[in-house]
Amino acid sequence: MDYDNNNSRSSWYRGSDGPDGGHVPPVNSFRKNKDSSSSLPADVDNFTYADPVHSAGFSSPHRDTYWTPEIQHRDTRRSTKILMLSISALIIVIAASMIFMGSDTVQPGGQKDLPGPGYEDYQDYIEDFYKEVPRSKTTIPSAPVDPGVTMELAETPQEAPLNLQQIYKHCCPSVVAITAKVGGRGFYWGTGIILSENGYIVTNAHIIEGTESVTVTLQDDREFEAKLVGSDSRSDIAVLKIDAENLPYAEFGDSSKLEVGDEVLAIGNPLGEELRGTMTNGIISAINRGITYNGHSMTLLQTNAAINEGNSGGPLINMHGQVIGITNMKMMSKYTNIEGIGFAIPTTVIKPVVDELIRQGFVAGRPAIGITVGNIPPMAEQYYTLPDGLYVTSVEENSDAYKKGIREGDIITEANGTPVASIEDMNAIKETMAVGDTLLLTVYRNGETFVVDVVLMDMSELYG
């Protein structure tokens, strides 16, 4: 099952491994906007993204935890695109004809599937394979922390509920549009919520991950360049700061008071700038819905209020105008229409994360190994007779993994005695452990296998 995060990014599916190293979707799947089993490199702890690409190209590397990026790429050279698409289609037809004329089995010494001249060593081939897709880390300028700002959860009012028009007028001014630029090649689109009158804004971490700058657009069309206070990919929460005063800010309610059947509504920016400020309504369909993605668990609210790409980071609001959740994903299927199954992060989960991010810029206690890994390209695995596992593309020098001898080019085949062939496998094991625990990694290197005991470190110490 996949989940679809609702910033405007391309949709990738995960299921059983496909022949190209991608994934074949199950019949009913949750669609997310990151392929959780791409063959591209990913930090096990603090992942980096590839620059955005169209869905016809490589999917991006994994990131802890959830989503594959897409760009809303504006290109005025439409005639050139049409020509290139036509040429690509012709190439695909020719290639497909050739595929069905022969075997796809990788045979050492064969011409079609050979890695090519100069690739006698699998490490050289895999390193060059990853270099084909440029990667970018989040380089948004940092904002100073402020221990004096916290998220307050208000009591549910005893007065009669508001009507939809009253809620929209009351809440819409505190909802912002977020445009996150990536490498000069495009941007991500999402939603955010003003937390304080002096410009703190809460949104989803997956909207801004791998980006270099963020523009916040207020309801009155004023634009501000935002700075990053902190981001926590495991909870999918980020806090931004803009230089503004006297802003209309949201009132946050206590999500623990919700019951199934309570009416709610969502306000956001689905599908881009043209539909900013869209409101949809529904009910709470389920509470404490456990969702697992990339090996990490999330406890979410489920709603049938319409949520679409671009809604990520926007508010889920009760009938008193209080924000009781932040929307972040929905259920989709490639083969059948699935509507009315969306999810939001409850405020009881959001508050401690936001408070810690504003206080110190990070969430302490996240266990990290200190390695960046990627799936082994299927062709290389067969040609070089490599074991199933995760290829190490880099190791943080201040990590215990580096001190214990793990190096770039190693292949991690097991963690605590359990085979690991994907990021989900590794994260599922790490999820059960804490900072200071020892993780046993089975490592393949140049035909030999050995075991290394690695002490997990606090992510803030490695990447802070």
Tokens for 437, please give them: 């625990």
Strand partners, 188: 180
Given a contact cutoff of 8 angstroms between Cβ atoms, the answer to whether 286 and 184 are in contact is: no
Helix, strand, or coil (residue 119): coil
Given a contact cutoff of 8 angstroms between Cβ atoms, the answer to whether 266 and 280 are in contact is: yes
**Residue 73 bears catalytic tag:** no
Which listed residue (23, 62, 206, 320) is catalytic?
Answer: 206
**Residue 196 bears catalytic tag:** no
Burial of 76 (0-12, 13-18, 19+ CB in 10 A): exposed
Strand partners, 5: 329
**Those residues with Cβ within 8 angstroms of residue 388's Cβ, 6 or more apart along the chain or in another chain:** 376, 381, 413, 419, 421
- Residue indicated by tokens 């881009």: 272
**Residue 206 bears catalytic tag:** yes
Helix, strand, or coil (residue 344): strand
Start-to-end CA distance of the chain, whole Å, equals 33
Given a contact cutoff of 8 angstroms between Cβ atoms, the answer to whether 116 and 132 are in contact is: no
Helix, strand, or coil (residue 127): helix
> What is the DSSP secondary structure assignment for residue 389, as one 8-state letter?
S
- The secondary element (H helix, E strand) that includes residue 379 is helix 378-383
Which listed residue (312, 333, 399, 422) is catalytic?
Answer: 312
The span from the CA of 306 to the CA of 48, in Å, is: 30
Helix, strand, or coil (residue 461): helix
Strand partners, 364: none
Tokens for 133, please give them: 């897709």
Which listed residue (64, 232, 236, 400) is catalytic?
Answer: 236
The string over 235-256, giving b where at least 16 C-beta atoms fall within 10 Å of a residue's C-beta and e elsewhere, is: bbbbbbbbeeeebebbbbbbbe
Beta strands in 116-155 (DSSP E): 135-136, 153-154
**Cα Dmax for the chain:** 78
Amino acid making up residue 395: V
The span from the CA of 187 to the CA of 71, in Å, is: 5
Q: Active-site positions?
A: 206, 236, 312
